Amino acid sequence: MTVLVFGRTGQVARELARAGGVTCLDRAAADLADPQACAAAIRAIRPQAVINAAAWTAVDAAEDHEELATTINGAAPGAMAGACADLGIPLVHISTDYVFAGNGTAPWRPTDPTGPLGAYGRSKLAGERAVAAAGGTWAVLRTSWVVSAHGSNFVKTMLRLGRERDELRVVADQIGGPTPARDIAAACLKIAETLRVEPDKGGIYHFAGAPDVSWADFARAIFAQAGIACRVTDIPSADYPTPARRPLNSRLDCSRTEAVFGLKRPDWRASLRDILTEIEEART
């Protein structure tokens, strides 16, 4: 199966490239700020499947640049989906828990009402709707709290700050599932391959690491595995204000994904060991 991946430097795109057998397009080859250029790339390459692993992910900056974020996260995936529909090939599009309002404590199901709290979530929801409206064969894979040894993420931030400080105040009222980028990449490939032969299995799916945890407890787990003696103090989100509101409840119900594709929630604790090892090897 020949797979075209939008994205090259992001966490999931890097893991897709590492898996092999894919063609990754960076911004120079297909700028998501130009949706029609993305569609043209698909028509020119004519792959057997497309995975969109590129996005505007700067959550706070989206508050001041919502129009551009919506072009990248909304219009571009829609254009990709249109080209894929014309060619009769599946598109797997990665989305986010930020499409939900984050209230309550129950894990969000794919069929639950959406209600994004900010510009980033609205832009990603626009992408989901544009992909669905284009017709064809598609899957939206919502995920949460992506981590890896690459790019900017919570694990790398905690390692840096934990080595610099004796104590960190970390938000404890936001709960979700840290998800290794490597597992998201594998899930996307599995879904794309399945949709090629069983297009009726398209739709919206959830995929997040287990067990669910707070940011504060996740930080403790990182320090424990890394052997860093940094104390974590729990704080509420109100004590750490940001331009964009974060959902308190990012739990995702992934049962449909397991039932349809056989993809179980990955244990982030096991993957964390691999991530820490890779980061340490890159430092030496």
Residues with a known catalytic role: 120
Give the span between the Cα atoms of 10 and 56, in whole angstroms: 10
To the nearest whole percent, how much of the chain has pLDDT over 90?
Answer: 96
Beta-bridge partner residues of 23:
4
Q: Over 90: is that where the pLDDT of 117 sits?
A: yes
For residue 5, list its beta bridge partners.
24, 51
> Could you report the per-residue pLDDT of 9-47, keeping only the tens digit for each?
999 999 999 998 899 999 999 999 999 999 999 999 999
pTM for this model (two decimals): 0.96
Query: Using one digit for the tens of pLDDT, what is the confidence trace for 60-84?
Result: 999 999 999 999 999 999 999 999 9
Q: CATH homologous superfamily of domain 3-153+179-209+252-266? A: NAD(P)-binding Rossmann-like Domain (3.40.50.720)
The CB density around residue 52, as the number of other CB atoms within 10 Å, is 30
Cβ 203 vs Cβ 139: under 8 Å: yes
Domain extents in the chain? 3-153+179-209+252-266
Residues 6+ apart with CB under 8 A from 45: 4, 23
Q: Is the pLDDT of residue 89 over 80?
A: yes
Q: Cα(first)–Cα(last) distance of the chain, in Å? A: 37
